Structure 1
């Protein structure tokens, strides 16, 4: 049986916000679906090519304010991109990506057409931290370049990868930004402490970044990795430079994350740092 919803707002010829009897508000997208329609009218869900929920009041306001700045022909295309991302990641996307990524892509296209280049200083960190999201973002950028006849700078791949990661993990973009900035800071502390330069494209760097990411995740959930006092004492004697540096890193993490760090993190960090110094 077809289900009817009541039109709450016609955003343009192709987009309507409607009241759903079960899910509150839904966004209906379809070519010409809003043409000649008025608030209070009923419309069948089957008339839309695509629908998505919009339960957050703030996101609804953002979406409404965003519509006048987006070429109507692109609304369908951006929604196709979101479906593509969900399939490639093989995960349900958090609804906030509909607003956040639509906003980002629309203004990125405008920037590209005006020749404005945005540098992303954390591109290599993002690629190492979120390799699958980064690969999907590369594919999305290629789709946008073809469709919009623009050329996105490489930095946009990193920004889109962050949006994808946020949508599949339900982490806020501000938390994600904080984490990769912290990892970049920790890497610099390591390089200074061990007097070496880590190749940002090397396997060593990728392993380091993944280890630091897992440590940050453990700190966030307050995970205790066990008490290994004897091993800690042995590492302290065998590798004093790496052991002391591991505690320096822990203090940076405690300060930036404003959370306690389990002592056992020093063990794992020391072992990892020692691997870096042991390279031929």
Structure 2
């Protein structure tokens, strides 16, 4: 048996747990007529999760002060469906981060404000599974909330999902997504081209950039290709030079060294992309 520490609302209580100190218990009517110190069996809860970070606990408690219980219930069901799709437990910060994000997003939609997401395509390409699940669960949310969540919001939900699935910091994921978008803008400017976002070579380039960011962040560098680098520098000087400009931006944003071998892969992607754009004109 656990012991109620605080009743947050009719469906959510904070309880003292022998292993986790404090847990959040969720269940229909679970908090009704319960007071601090009352015994409660964890099997009575439909779900329980641990918010180890005190700041996250405080955030969740504050969230429940203005988010209605129905919405909290829907978001908890959302997380259950998410874990079912990935067949894994996700980082429980999503209970705080995504509930907070979607609650205010929906308020904005109801007030007639639009949702703009300039990184939608890059997000879909970088995290295809998360994006697919976000699309599916957004349709479910539309039915639950009797609302139409715009497509741009799917990208933001996908980033929250990726953060929860991989235990990565959401701010870091956002920064990397924005970095890739900035690099694409640099490529269009320097090569004086407009890239077709549906082109297969564009898809390969975006995925490569995301993988490159991950490799650099984790210091998982690829092997060197000095002989090929010399050939590319001679054959494709414009794309080779641009590759180094992109690498310098990556180095500044990520605050870590970018291996020279990355110039080879970037040059090949850039040259293939430019050739395809020029031939289609």
TM-score by length of 2: 0.95
Q: Which residue of 1 aligns with 2:191?
A: 194
Equivalenced residue count is: 277
Q: Which residue of 2 aligns with 1:64?
A: 61
Q: In the TM superposition, what whole-angstrom CA distance separates every residue of 1:184-231 from its partner, at most 9, and x where no partner exists?
A: 111111112222111123222211110000111111112231222111
- Deviation of the 1:114 alpha carbon: 2.1
Q: Distance in 2 between matches of 1:83 and 1:201?
A: 33
Does 2:234 align with 1:237?
yes
Does 2:112 align with 1:115?
yes
Q: Which residue of 1 aligns with 2:17?
A: 20
- Deviation of the 1:46 alpha carbon: 1.3
Q: Which residue of 2 aligns with 1:149?
A: 146
Q: Which residue of 2 aligns with 1:77?
A: 74
- Deviation of the 1:63 alpha carbon: 0.3
Q: In the TM superposition, what whole-angstrom CA distance separates every residue of 1:91-142 from its partner, at most 9, and x where no partner exists?
A: 3211111111111222222222222222111111111111111111111211
Unaligned runs of 5+ in 1: none
The answer as to whether partners of 1:124 and 1:201 remain within 8 angstroms in 2 is no
The answer as to whether partners of 2:229 and 2:264 remain within 8 angstroms in 1 is yes
Q: Which residue of 2 aligns with 1:133?
A: 130
- Deviation of the 1:277 alpha carbon: 2.1
Does 2:146 align with 1:163?
no
Q: Which residue of 1 aligns with 2:4?
A: 7
Describe the SS at the equivalent of 1:36: coil
Out of 257, 269, 272, the residue aligned to residue 275 of structure 1 is: 272
Q: Distance in 2 between matches of 1:259 and 1:229?
A: 21
Q: Distance in 1 between matches of 2:180 and 2:88?
A: 26
TM-score by length of 1: 0.95
Out of 44, 53, 60, the residue aligned to residue 50 of structure 2 is: 53
Q: Which residue of 1 aligns with 2:179?
A: 182
Out of 197, 201, 204, the residue aligned to residue 201 of structure 2 is: 204
Matches within 5 A, 1:231-270: 231-270=228-267
Instruction: Please give the root-mean-square deviation of Cα atoms over the aligned residues, in Å.
Output: 1.3
Q: Distance in 2 between matches of 1:116 and 1:9?
A: 37
Describe the SS at the equivalent of 1:220: helix
Q: Distance in 2 between matches of 1:190 and 1:251?
A: 13
